Chains A and B, each alone.
Chain A
């Protein structure tokens, strides 16, 4: 299968590979996919008190497109608010990486991963989550 240069670049030099401490209240972890399906993504975000994603890490078991999708996503979410990050669409990832139609599911998985990470962070009731809730209550 022929890959775009961007996929090859992310595959050969993946950005932000690694893990954060899962139990840290500032960290949200999203794990999506299944080994039997051929891809599993773990995406982690570290969120500042004011609800901005300071840092992100990933590990992915999957094809080159899956690795590239998750690597690109970690670059994109950094500096974004949780709200902004949750609005990232799989189509934007697929377009940026020029994924072929059979690999679109890799970008879908990446979108699922960031949503799951945000959800995990919110469920921990971290500082920023509280602040967001308060803001919502106050309005």
Chain B
């Protein structure tokens, strides 16, 4: 087997990324006595002024990546908080206007669970189905909009499948209907082009740690023209124009700023490189029997590949693949015992959802990593299929969909 330089090979960049060394270096300069450790809210001395300047630069980098005004960027603790702030913030501020929210079944839990909470508070939420491609049907979305709809929340890139929604079109529709549009861009910022001058997105959530920045920091874009209002969820001190109080975490913010600066600079080249690696990975599997790609690769972010290896259960495959770090839509990797709700929403049978593996490639993935992965996966899938009664039945020509299974 060809040796990759680093075992285990990290192929879970959609879960989190290592900080870029350039990011870590900038962050370290904001912690100690000889660095910019000050509180940006301290207006009375140079320590505060320097920290404030650092934050300003970082805010500029984040805004620049998505072509927004720096004043439209609100720092948060991450995309989960940004989603909460956007959705609850709009719902609470505009509650007199209406109590209906539209989202989609394949959203991240940070959006879905926030919507569930609002349902408990008396709001109504429509959870749209997606097509088998993973995409939203625009007609279905349009039909779901009601007189009292105040918010549409649809993610840009799906974290499990890598499918890219047409947020420009959703934005046009929402604006025409006078509905606020929030978009979770945790998986897309720094991976694909986002232009908030052109796209009619009103609120957008960002995360630093998906883009080679640190964990624990994110941002929410809040549009100024037309002005979008949100009710704060965190009170005290009135930081971030009253939308999110709390002393700014300068080192985290500087890290996110640097990560987004690098992303803007390197996105085009990196994305082309990742696409080539993903195609290399895919072609390494393409002659295998009974494999299914989850999500439409023609509307797709470069670094993600989600495949179901039929007749092999995902968790056992992950155990066999302990020399590569990947994730699975199998029930067994979660506490719930339910297979991935995202893959089920795509219309995948439960057994294929149980058999899925998400490979997500990133900045430090090499061709050798990909080649090593191909060999290892092929070998282990073959081994587990030898162990699988379903594979045996399939090979014997049994139609598994016609078998009466003893449910348990």
Q: Per-position contact with A for B372-390: 1 when CB-CB < 8 Å, else 0?
A: 0000000000000011111
A138 contacts B by Cβ under 8 Å: no
B272 contacts A by Cβ under 8 Å: no
Interface residues of B in 304-338 (CB under 8 A from A): 311-313, 315-316, 319, 330-333, 335, 337
Check if B333 sits within 8 Å of A1, measured CB to CB. Answer: yes
User: Which residues of B have CB within 8 Å of A33?
Assistant: 405-406, 408
Interface residues of B in 342-374 (CB under 8 A from A): 349-351, 354
Check if A31 sits within 8 Å of B389, measured CB to CB. Answer: yes
Minimum CB distance partner of B400 in chain A: A35
A131 contacts B by Cβ under 8 Å: no
B359 to chain A, nearest CB (A): 20
B339 contacts A by Cβ under 8 Å: yes
Check if B387 sits within 8 Å of A67, measured CB to CB. Answer: yes
Which of A14, A33, A59 counts the most chain B CB atoms within 10 A? Answer: A59
B392 contacts A by Cβ under 8 Å: yes
User: Which residues of A have CB within 8 Å of B330?
Assistant: 38, 63
Interface residues of A in 1-55 (CB under 8 A from B): 1, 3, 11, 14, 17, 19, 31-42
B407 contacts A by Cβ under 8 Å: yes
Known contacts A34-B407, A102-B335; A64/B387 CB under 8 A: no
Check if A32 sits within 8 Å of B408, measured CB to CB. Answer: yes
A94 contacts B by Cβ under 8 Å: no
Q: Measured between alpha carbons, how far is A58 from B405 in the docked complex, in Å?
A: 17
Check if B390 sits within 8 Å of A64, measured CB to CB. Answer: no
A109 contacts B by Cβ under 8 Å: yes
User: Which residues of B have CB within 8 Å of A14?
Assistant: 387
A105 contacts B by Cβ under 8 Å: yes
Give the number of A-B contacts (CB < 8 Å): 90
Q: Per-position contact with A for B288-318: 1 when CB-CB < 8 Å, else 0?
A: 0000000000000000000000011101100
Q: Measured between alpha carbons, how far is A108 from B331 in the docked complex, in Å?
A: 17
Q: Sort chain A's interface into a size bin.
A: 20 to 34
Contact of B316 among A67, A102, A108, A109 (CB under 8 A): A67
Interface residues of A in 76-110 (CB under 8 A from B): 102, 105, 108-109
Check if B389 sits within 8 Å of A40, measured CB to CB. Answer: yes
Check if B331 sits within 8 Å of A59, measured CB to CB. Answer: no
Check if B335 sits within 8 Å of A61, measured CB to CB. Answer: no
A74 contacts B by Cβ under 8 Å: no
User: Which residues of A have CB within 8 Å of B408?
Assistant: 32-34, 37, 105, 108-109, 112
Minimum CB distance partner of A108 in chain B: B408
A122 contacts B by Cβ under 8 Å: no
Check if A60 sits within 8 Å of B388, measured CB to CB. Answer: yes
Check if B387 sits within 8 Å of A63, measured CB to CB. Answer: no
Minimum CB distance partner of A42 in chain B: B389
B6 to chain A, nearest CB (A): 22
Check if B406 sits within 8 Å of A38, measured CB to CB. Answer: no
Check if B388 sits within 8 Å of A11, measured CB to CB. Answer: no
Q: Measured between alpha carbons, how far is A60 from B400 in the docked complex, in Å?
A: 15
Check if B386 sits within 8 Å of A35, measured CB to CB. Answer: no
Which of B331, B332, B335, B400 counts the most chain A CB atoms within 10 A? Answer: B332
Q: Per-position contact with A for B386-408: 1 when CB-CB < 8 Å, else 0?
A: 11111110000000100001111
Q: Measured between alpha carbons, how far is A87 from B354 in the docked complex, in Å?
A: 32
User: Which residues of A have CB within 8 Å of B331?
Assistant: 38
Check if B387 sits within 8 Å of A17, measured CB to CB. Answer: yes
Minimum CB distance partner of B331 in chain A: A38
Minimum CB distance partner of A109 in chain B: B408
Q: Measured between alpha carbons, how far is A105 from B335 in the docked complex, in Å?
A: 13
Q: Measured between alpha carbons, how far is A44 from B332 in the docked complex, in Å?
A: 26
Q: Measured between alpha carbons, how far is A31 from B393 in the docked complex, in Å?
A: 12
Known contacts A11-B319, A63-B330, A67-B387; A37/B312 CB under 8 A: no
User: Which residues of A have CB within 8 Å of B391?
Assistant: 61
A36 to chain B, nearest CB (A): 4
User: Which residues of B have CB within 8 Å of A11?
Assistant: 316, 319
Check if B389 sits within 8 Å of A59, measured CB to CB. Answer: yes
Check if B354 sits within 8 Å of A38, measured CB to CB. Answer: yes
Check if A17 sits within 8 Å of B386, measured CB to CB. Answer: yes
Check if A38 sits within 8 Å of B332, measured CB to CB. Answer: yes
User: Which residues of A have CB within 8 Å of B388?
Assistant: 59-61
Q: Measured between alpha carbons, how far is A59 from B387 in the docked complex, in Å?
A: 5
Q: Measured between alpha carbons, how far is A40 from B405 in the docked complex, in Å?
A: 9
Contact of B349 among A36, A62, A64 (CB under 8 A): A36
Minimum CB distance partner of B404 in chain A: A34
Q: Measured between alpha carbons, how far is A81 from B350 in the docked complex, in Å?
A: 38
Which of A34, A40, A67 counts the most chain B CB atoms within 10 A? Answer: A40
The 7 sampled A-B contact pairs (Cβ below 8 Å) are A33-B405, A36-B354, A36-B405, A37-B350, A63-B315, A67-B316, A67-B387
Since A38-B331, A61-B390 are in contact, a sample of 16 more A-B pairs with Cβ atoms closer than 8 Å, ordered by chain A residue number, is: A1-B333, A3-B319, A11-B316, A14-B387, A33-B406, A35-B350, A35-B351, A36-B349, A36-B351, A36-B405, A37-B407, A37-B408, A38-B330, A63-B313, A64-B319, A105-B408
Complex A-B, nearest 10 residue pairs according to Cβ-Cβ distance, in ascending order: A34-B405, A35-B351, A36-B350, A42-B389, A59-B389, A63-B315, A63-B332, A38-B354, A61-B388, A64-B319
